[in-house]
Structure 1
Amino acid sequence: MQILDGKALAKKIEENVTNEVAKLKAETDLTPGLAVILVGQDPASQAYVNMKKKACDRVGFYSVTHEMPQDISQDAIENTITMMNQNPNIDGILVQLPLPPQIDTTKILELVDPAKDVDGFHPYNVGRLVTNLDGFVPCTPLGVMELLSEYNIDVKGKNCCVVGASNIVGKPMAALLLNADATVEVCHIFTDDLKKHTLNADIILVGVGVINLIKEDMVKDGAIIVDIGINRADNGKLVGDVDFANVSPKCSYITPVPGGVGPMTIAMLLSNTLKAAKLNAQKKR
């Protein structure tokens, strides 16, 4: 069993982005800029945004966080996004989800300029992903593909079981695997007999937020496990969706939680923002 070390790869990607940023600044005098919208006081969202801010500082990005109260109006968020769309110094716009119930999330995500949609959530970029065209891809599934590639794991022809069908992880994960010629099954909350599907899989990718959902008897010998889940256990520890202690001895490769997919998500955000900045620099020439 080998650990898929996302932390080490994320560090490598971050170093590469830092070098690319220095080069971009030297050649064009432009600094990549990322703007984040954070609504309310959710501790998990605040922690994520803080991690993203620190990562931006490390690689030399300009970053700004628009912190808004929980009772913010739809108009106020829309006005802020419109302002950021028009700001030439902002290359990437990130709306931290979830948004409060009074906000129409779909409308907000659709308002972000697709050329600044570094989270890859705009329908334009979703469409380009599904049709295997270049665009911005959601950071977590993109990070998973980078991690598999780093360890020379070719998904072509492999049976892949994606557990979870969210717009942020499950659906784009399935699209990326399909684009790489994998055979893909997507399971979700209404799937009957999950074990039947996971047992047949060469690669299981799970991200649903249920502690120990994937157990030892659900995994065939030599399978590859990518645990995208992140949960806080009763003892305060961060754990994934896989029963790591019992499942890992059966695997050929497995991601740990923490230190697996999590760091890759932030590394891909940096990578996407750099890509947006380079495209923006070309337009300005």
Structure 2
Amino acid sequence: MSIIMKGSEVAAAMKEELLREVEKLARKGIVPQLGIVRVGARPDDLAYERGAIKKMGGVGIRCKVIELSESIGQADFEQEFSAVDNNPDIHGILLFRPLPRQLDEQSVRNMINPKKDIDCMSPVNIAKVFSGDESGFAPCTAEAVMEVLAHYAIDVRGKRVTVVGRSMVVGKPLSMLLLKKNATVTICHTKTINLEETCRNAEILVAAAGKAAMITADFVSENSVVVDVGINVGSDGKLCGDVDFDAVVAKVASITPVPGGVGAVTSSVLAEHVVRAANSLNGLS
């Protein structure tokens, strides 16, 4: 019988530690605060924002939402972002991306204080992740995968891990986090030749390509561990992952569901990063 690795269990365990850390800050008169910068009102951004606000509130972290017009110009956008970046009461910044076409994202990547860059926009944090420097903030989703594996006592040391996806949000940084834990990592993508065979060779398979149900039973080996990072809308209009869950679940040892898997842990990692940033900015770590 496969183990369903539920994100809610991981998030519940993380919440206990977060509450302790927030209480320690409170005793020093510090209330950690997240600044959410949103340009426009895309439904997916609003959904994530609601979830983030709920998660932060549940552990005593304040939230400040800075909503900007979808038609805002570059100069005004940079001015607004700079105000958030320089606000001493805001310890972590989450910018919803992609930005509208008229805005240059690279400028704010270079502008953001790396100590407030809790979702790894800054080249400084990207370099730290790729060099194995744990003082940097990794992307929240990539780190959420590591949290799931750790919670379910899945040791990656020496294991053959295949990551399907090469984005800077998940695939590449996650591969670096896995390498730091001494996994043997293969990075694949939708154009990889013999993708099925490469995936079948994996003891741990992470699907992060952004293509609904592309990982079928033919892609997995018996008793492997499958982590599904994909968030897609299937032909039936329901949320689904990159893995064909029903076809794969009986074959593997452990698997994350979608929804209710890695995505449920991402906002907990975000909260953890805000607390880390609050400690760092106040000279406590």
TM range (shorter): over 0.9
Counterparts of 2:189 and 2:110 in 1: how far apart (Å)? 25
Counterparts of 1:190 and 1:45 in 2: how far apart (Å)? 29
Query: What residue is the counterpart of 2:25 in the other structure?
Result: 24
- Is the CA contact (8 Å cut-off) linking 1:121 and 1:168 kept in structure 2? no
Correspondence 1:202 to 2:203: yes
Query: What residue is the counterpart of 1:13 in the other structure?
Result: 14
> Cα deviations across residues 115-172 of structure 1 (Å, max 9, x unaligned)?
1001122111111111111211111111111111111111111111111111111111
Query: What residue is the counterpart of 1:85 in the other structure?
Result: 85
Query: What residue is the counterpart of 2:237 in the other structure?
Result: 236
1:74 CA displacement: 1.6
Query: What residue is the counterpart of 1:41 in the other structure?
Result: 41
Correspondence 1:224 to 2:225: yes
Q: Which structure: greater helix fraction?
A: 1
Query: What residue is the counterpart of 1:70 in the other structure?
Result: 70
Counterparts of 1:193 and 1:73 in 2: how far apart (Å)? 46
- Is the CA contact (8 Å cut-off) linking 1:74 and 1:103 kept in structure 2? yes
Counterparts of 2:78 and 2:177 in 1: how far apart (Å)? 30
Counterparts of 1:276 and 1:91 in 2: how far apart (Å)? 6
Segments of structure 1 that go 5 or more residues without pairing to the other structure are none
Correspondence 1:103 to 2:99: no
SS of alignment partner, residue 63 of structure 1: strand
SS of alignment partner, residue 115 of structure 1: coil
Query: What residue is the counterpart of 2:259 in the other structure?
Result: 258
> Cα deviations across residues 216-261 of structure 1 (Å, max 9, x unaligned)?
0111111110000011223332111101011011111100111110
SS of alignment partner, residue 282 of structure 2: helix
Query: What residue is the counterpart of 1:128 in the other structure?
Result: 128
SS of alignment partner, residue 132 of structure 2: coil
Correspondence 1:53 to 2:57: no
AA matched with 1:36: I
Question: Residues 268-283 of structure 1: matches in 2 within 5 Å?
Answer: 268-282=269-283
- Is the CA contact (8 Å cut-off) linking 1:95 and 1:109 kept in structure 2? no
Count of aligned pairs between the two proteins: 283
Query: What residue is the counterpart of 2:147 in the other structure?
Result: 146
> Cα deviations across residues 168-207 of structure 1 (Å, max 9, x unaligned)?
1111111101111111111123322311210111111011
1:72 CA displacement: 1.4
Correspondence 1:162 to 2:163: yes
Counterparts of 1:202 and 1:3 in 2: how far apart (Å)? 16
The percent of aligned pairs where both chains have the same amino acid is 38
1:55 CA displacement: 1.2
Segments of structure 2 that go 5 or more residues without pairing to the other structure are none
Counterparts of 2:132 and 2:210 in 1: how far apart (Å)? 28
SS of alignment partner, residue 271 of structure 1: helix
SS of alignment partner, residue 269 of structure 2: helix
When normalised by structure 2's length, the TM-score is 0.96
Moved more, 183-192 or 92-101: 183-192
SS of alignment partner, residue 142 of structure 1: helix
AA matched with 1:63: C
When normalised by structure 1's length, the TM-score is 0.96
SS of alignment partner, residue 235 of structure 2: coil
1:61 CA displacement: 1.2
